Every structure is written in C-alpha cells, then in structure tokens.
Amino acid sequence: MAFSSDNSFSRPTCAQIDLAALRHNLRRCRELVSGTGIRLLAVVKANAYGHGAVPIAQELARFGVDCFGISLVEEGVELRQAGIQGDIVVLGGAWSDDDEIVANALTPLVFSRDQLVRLDAAAARAGSVVRVHLKLDTGMSRIGITLAELPDFLTALSAARRVHVEGLASHLANSECLEHPQNAEQLALFRQARAVLKAAGHDPRWCHIANSGALLQLGEARDGADFNLVRPGIMLYGEAPSLELSEVSGLRAVLSWRTSITHLKTIEEGQPVSYGGRWTAPRRSRIATLPVGYADGYNRRFGNVAEVLIRGQRAPVVGTVCMDMCMVDVTRIDGVSLRDEAVLLGCQGEQEITARELAERIGTISYEILTSVGARVPRVVVDSDESQTPRSRDE
C-alpha cells in the first residue's frame, strides 16, 4: 500500500490519515489511565484498522508508545522492518512461524501445549528465550485456556524452559455495555486464573483484559493493580465501540476518504441507473460518477442507502455500487462541476459522514467500514496541527 506526499494519483481517490487526530486520541487514552501506572498497548492489527500500520506505529512510537498489538506474525515482522523497537504482541497467537517470532523478538499469545513445544524448540535453536502472554478464555469461547484447563497447561509450561510468561491476557465480550453481567464474570475468572498462576510460581508482569470499551468506561478492568495494561484499538482511530460511548469519548476521526467527480450527465425521468436498474430517476436528474467502488472497499450495499458530501451538502448514492465506480444524485446541489471533491467518509464544510453512520446504513459496525478501505486506495498522511501538506510515508 502506497503512502504518497502528493495527490498526483492516476485517479483522484485517497484516504487521508491525520496524525494530529491520532495524537489527540492517544492523549484521551492516557487521560483515562492517568496516575495509575498503566501501560498502553496500541492495537495496530489489520493494517492499523485500515489506516496504515507503519505510519501509525511510527507516530505513536514518536510520542512514547512502546508496546503494540498485531494479529499476524507477518504484521509484526513488517513493523520490525520499519524500525519499531518496542514490544510487539501477537494477539492472534502463533501458528507455524515460531522461528520468525524468535528472530524478530515478537511476543505471542499462547493457549495450547503444541505452541509451547514449538516455541521452546525455536528458542533453543536460536539460543534465546521467548517471552509470551498466556491467553485465558474467560467467556469469549474463541481462543484461550479455560480455568479448568489451566493446571494441565502449567504442567506443560514447566517443561518449556525457554518460554517465559511475561503477561496474562483475556478479552471482554461485552465491554461496550457497562451493566452486562458477563463483564463481572470474566473479571472474576481472570483473577482466579491469576491466583492459580501465582501458586504455580508464575507472576506475569502484565495483566490485561481492557479493550477500547473497557478503557472508556469499565474502571475495574484498568485498576492499575489486577490489571496494569490496556489495549486501545478502535478508539485510537477516532471511533467508540458503541453509540452510547461515542457521546463521552471525545475522540477525533483519523481517516477521511476522498475522491472527486469524473463524469456528469443529465438523465430524464424514468431513466434507470447502474446494474439491475435498482434506482430510477424520479425527475430529470443530474448524475455524478465517482471513481470508487466495492473493489476499493466502498460496500456494494451502499447503493440507494449511503450519501457523500459534495459542495458541503449531502448527495445520495444511487443505483448499484459497481466494482470501480458509483453514482450520486447531485440534482439538488447548485454549481456542481467536474473534479469537485466528493467526501465518502469525513468532513466537508459543516457536514460529516462518520464510519458509524455508514455502518448503521448497512447493518454492520464501524470496525468493518474502516478495515474494508482497500489496498488500492492510497493513504496520504497529513498533520492538521502543523500543515495541510501531506507527509511522505511508505509502507
């Protein structure tokens, strides 16, 4: 994925990444744990939720973040090759890349005997020790060791002489809902498991369960005692995990998605637009074509549902979104011309289209909207606190 210093692309479509907004959200995370001694693990998996893992991690590191969370080993290798020196925790676990984990000083989550055996052997081949975080399943039923399985796992761990348990982790299933009873159940199971570990002679340095939702509202999951590390993900990029939390989060969107009009035409009443004729002009209409489609991550379901911003006004997306193009009705907007900017996601004038809005239009979540912005959409890094001139970064 290319990061460019200008807008001289073969088509006028890019995603702008605002580092000033990223720093603002980082400050908000730090405010929530101020005075607790809690460490931040910045989650930059999935290409930093579609924002570009390398420039995001580099900027966070520049402002003191020294621990990063990714999902895949190759994501961690990419960060190392880009010069990231802090801890990199492989939140998705480790499957068969054990030598790369050791060679790049990555810290995987572990939750099976097989992982222990393979990591121990890889560390022996390298003449080193591999640091790991033990993953507990306290209620997600996804990956992790249950409390009942923990004693047998600890027996296997005792034979893995080159594996050092540096952290203990789990994941909340309902952190965005403060009153959900499963939150208390998961916290209690975590504390029980930690007690079992201590009794077996293991005292992990880092204990963590708080994602963005818990960081924003669940103080018990970031108390600085039982839990001394938090994992902000979506909130770093300016989105809260739920509508209720967005009202108190104080976050700024980092990504805006922009293109411009490449074709304009007038069609008559009754004329269908795009595949299947799913929209028909209700009157003589002015239709603008935008050079972006579902191959770029602009969801096909946005047809007849979403809006874009043109000249500071909302224009509905009409007809089926195509692979490389979509059409919008600009009949009610005065003065529209070729090359006018169209904002798919972000602000223009006093209007804003958020990832949450787009998600609600098609029945999904903002995470999916952001991570779906495709690799062929250039990311242009800007810093609105310093200059509107894009900064050059290469991933």
Catalytic residues: 45, 275
Instruction: Annotate 267-291 with DSSP letters as a single string.
Output: E-TT-EESGGG-EE-SSSEEEEEES
Give the whole-angstrom CA distance, residue 76 versus residue 146.
27
Give the whole-angstrom CA distance, residue 176 versus residue 100.
35
The neighbouring-strand residues paired with 289 are 263, 327
Strand 341-348 and strand 326-329: the pairing is unpaired
Give the whole-angstrom CA distance, residue 56 versus residue 51.
7
For residue 123 the two structure tokens come to 């560390």
Angle, CA 66 vertex, CA 65 and CA 69 arms, to 5°: 95
Give the whole-angstrom CA distance, residue 294 versus residue 10.
18
Distances (CA, A) of 126 to 102, 122, 129, 156, 223: 7, 6, 8, 21, 37
Residue bearing tokens 């602000």: 347
Query: How many CA atoms lie within 13 Å of 34's alpha carbon, on the beta-carbon side?
Result: 7
Q: How far is CA 345 from the centre of its chain?
A: 16
The neighbouring-strand residues paired with 40 are 230
Strand 107-110 and strand 130-135: the pairing is parallel
For residue 175 the two structure tokens come to 């952190």
Residue bearing tokens 């991933």: 395
